[in-house]
Structure 1
């Protein structure tokens, strides 16, 4: 069989599969009425995923009443005059929620988050939503949490409690203070990214006891000093970024003594004395920015 014939046969097979896929992934249109004006919310369903994009209007308790088994819910660039979080509780198998550039969302409370019993991944970027301080406290199934450009000034004790969380990204949100026991319950955490906030000081206990933590991002904050001896219990830490802060000098020998597992550190060029570079480059990958 010639190459042209093989290519033609492959195109037929792919076209057939695409047609079958489209049949199994219908586009749904959910219509509801409010104040005698018909509002239409277009919901695109692909397999077990739902996409909502460029929408406005109202999402009420029964909006998703007839939606079949869904694992992932994504909502982008939308503006709502009213939004009921409990509408998503109908999706009892829901494992992932992604929200990007959405306005009109109400407060996320502990009780609301508890309604997502199967949720493993939760991402919010650039929205006007606010959180109760204990919103994620009982999210025992959550493994991935990403929050960015959502105004929060303090991460207090009780934000997390005994979760399965492995990756935490809370970036560019204006965090100034982290209470000393905020992360203590996160025994399974592997990545913490706090970059782009306004953190000025770290309590000695901030990361204490996080034995599974592998990567820590503290870059683009307002830290004037870091006591690396307080990282001595981070036995799995291999990657640390403390660049773009206000730290005048970093003693890499102290870093190495306290975090022997560390393989890479990212620093401001001005923070590393010339004499330290030659002695430590062969033991630790130092990236200067």
Structure 2
């Protein structure tokens, strides 16, 4: 112990056979490394390069060597020729742009190789070939734009391969050939636009696959068909507009998948096969409708997120088979109406989110088949009222959010007002449930309205049968009577008014006719546009 301490290099800490050297004051490789050193770590140093002679005195005993956040820009060929017993080697946060092709030729015992957060631009062909027992290879956060076809050849023991946060644009179908033991593959945050067919065919033990944050526009139909052990699949933040039919079949162990932040416009029935999926994230896509049985194989799913799409319609039976679904998010879509009973046969459903839409009416049987809800979110829609029958069905709902709707406080609001008074504990932000119309009641808390408030507002708020036209009619009839027995002045004034009224009526009729014609023409144009959209839609 004393011998080791006495030979410990300057600016280094030595414990038994482990040495840790830190500080930018270190500009040269330390010369007095003890011969029994097994672990050598450099951090934040100004060492510029490494050469074979640096390791001569302790090469046989060295088992771990790592450099972190240092200015090393060059590792000479054959530097590690004598370090036969290295099982962990790392360069992270250095200035390295490339590595000699024979650098690892004698490292048959190496199990972990970390080359992350450097400036490596390319890899020599067969650079890693000698590493026959390598289990972990980290090439993340470099400047790679491509990979040699045989870059990982003979790495049959490899279990983790990290290639994320590079600039890789293209992969070969043979890039991962022979990696039968690979468990985790990280390809996120690159510039990939497509994935070659067959590229994952040999990865029969793969459990985690990261493809998110790329520019992938399409996927081959059988891309994942040979990945029976896949547990987690990340595809979010790409440019996918279509998923091939049965793309997610033969994935019985898949429990997690992300597809959010793509450009998906349609999900076809049969896209998802039977699997152990617990959550499905599909927000921030371009879905316009949900087809019958589209999720029917996802019998284990607990959470379904479809928010921030363009969904206008949900087919009856779209949620068939989701017997374990607990939460569904449909907020921030383009619903104007929503079908009755779409949530039936979902016995474990606890939370429904359909806020931030344009729903004008809630069907009285919306919650048919729902056993018990913890939360129903209806805020920020276009609801003027809620049917009494629907209010009765809210006995199965523990919490509901109703704010930011244009509630119309006429006589029809009375059942809603009474329900609010009876169940205030169910309503979150109760004081925000306020009248929108009539103007005299705007901002008033609906639950606090009195009969006199409503009756008084109806006298001051114009109805469809306004009193103004009746007054005009009486005036005209009176003036006509005056013209039959009155003087010349009264007679002339009555004729002028009659002419003005007739002109106004004729103008109104003409404008109505023109509007009708334009409406029909616009309707035909919209139908034609819809036909063209359907013709050009992705199928």
Deviation at 1:190, TM superposition (A): 1.2
Q: Distance in 2 between matches of 1:175 and 1:87?
A: 29
Structure 1 residue runs without a partner (length 5+): 1-12
Q: 1:154 to 1:68 in 2, by over 3 A?
A: closer
Q: Distance in 1 between matches of 2:326 and 2:40?
A: 41
- SS in structure 1 at match of 2:222: helix
Contact 2:297–2:321 (CA under 8 A) maintained in structure 1: no
Q: How many equivalent pairs are there? A: 274
Asked if residue 127 in structure 1 is aligned to residue 238 in structure 2, the reply is yes
TM norm structure 2: 0.43
Asked if residue 179 in structure 1 is aligned to residue 291 in structure 2, the reply is yes
Contact 1:204–1:230 (CA under 8 A) maintained in structure 2: yes
- SS in structure 1 at match of 2:244: coil
Deviation at 1:100, TM superposition (A): 2.5
Q: Which residue is 2:228 aligned to? A: 117
Q: 1:49 to 1:177 in 2, by over 3 A?
A: same
Contact 2:194–2:218 (CA under 8 A) maintained in structure 1: no
Q: 1:72 to 1:230 in 2, by over 3 A?
A: same
- SS in structure 2 at match of 1:282: helix
Q: Distance in 2 between matches of 1:279 and 1:64?
A: 65
Residue of 150, 153, 157 corresponding to 2:262: 150
- The structure richer in strand per residue is 1
Q: Which moved more, 1:192-201 or 1:242-251?
A: 242-251
- SS in structure 1 at match of 2:198: helix
Asked if residue 79 in structure 1 is aligned to residue 222 in structure 2, the reply is no
Q: 1:60 to 1:209 in 2, by over 3 A?
A: closer
Q: Distance in 1 between matches of 2:264 and 2:188?
A: 21
Asked if residue 263 in structure 1 is aligned to residue 374 in structure 2, the reply is yes
Deviation at 1:176, TM superposition (A): 0.8
Asked if residue 102 in structure 1 is aligned to residue 245 in structure 2, the reply is no
Q: Which residue is 1:210 aligned to? A: 322
Deviation at 1:185, TM superposition (A): 2.1
Q: 1:280 to 1:160 in 2, by over 3 A?
A: farther
Q: 1:279 to 1:94 in 2, by over 3 A?
A: farther
- SS in structure 1 at match of 2:259: strand
Q: 1:18 to 1:77 in 2, by over 3 A?
A: farther
Contact 1:256–1:262 (CA under 8 A) maintained in structure 2: no
Per-residue CA distance 1:73-118 (angstroms, 9 max, x = gap): 2223322477425333333221122222213x47323322212221
Per-residue CA distance 1:172-202 (angstroms, 9 max, x = gap): 1101121111122222221111111111011
Q: Distance in 2 between matches of 1:30 and 1:68?
A: 22
Deviation at 1:170, TM superposition (A): 1.3
- SS in structure 1 at match of 2:336: coil
Q: Which residue is 2:114 aligned to? A: 27
- The structure richer in helix per residue is 2
Contact 2:197–2:222 (CA under 8 A) maintained in structure 1: no
Asked if residue 247 in structure 1 is aligned to residue 380 in structure 2, the reply is no
Q: 1:229 to 1:68 in 2, by over 3 A?
A: closer
Q: Which residue is 1:165 aligned to? A: 277
Q: Distance in 1 between matches of 2:345 and 2:195?
A: 44
Asked if residue 237 in structure 1 is aligned to residue 349 in structure 2, the reply is yes
Q: Distance in 2 between matches of 1:233 and 1:21?
A: 59
Asked if residue 227 in structure 1 is aligned to residue 227 in structure 2, the reply is no
Q: Which residue is 1:56 aligned to? A: 168
- SS in structure 2 at match of 1:77: coil
Residue of 419, 422, 425 corresponding to 1:282: 425
Contact 2:221–2:246 (CA under 8 A) maintained in structure 1: yes
Per-residue CA distance 1:34-71 (angstroms, 9 max, x = gap): xxxx965499xx97352322222431133234657332
Contact 1:30–1:63 (CA under 8 A) maintained in structure 2: no
Contact 2:348–2:371 (CA under 8 A) maintained in structure 1: no
Q: Distance in 2 between matches of 1:207 and 1:148?
A: 19
Q: Which moved more, 1:18-27 or 1:157-166?
A: 18-27
Structure 2 residue runs without a partner (length 5+): 1-17, 21-37, 42-63, 67-87, 89-110, 116-121, 127-143, 152-157, 384-401, 408-415, 434-539
Q: 1:214 to 1:82 in 2, by over 3 A?
A: closer
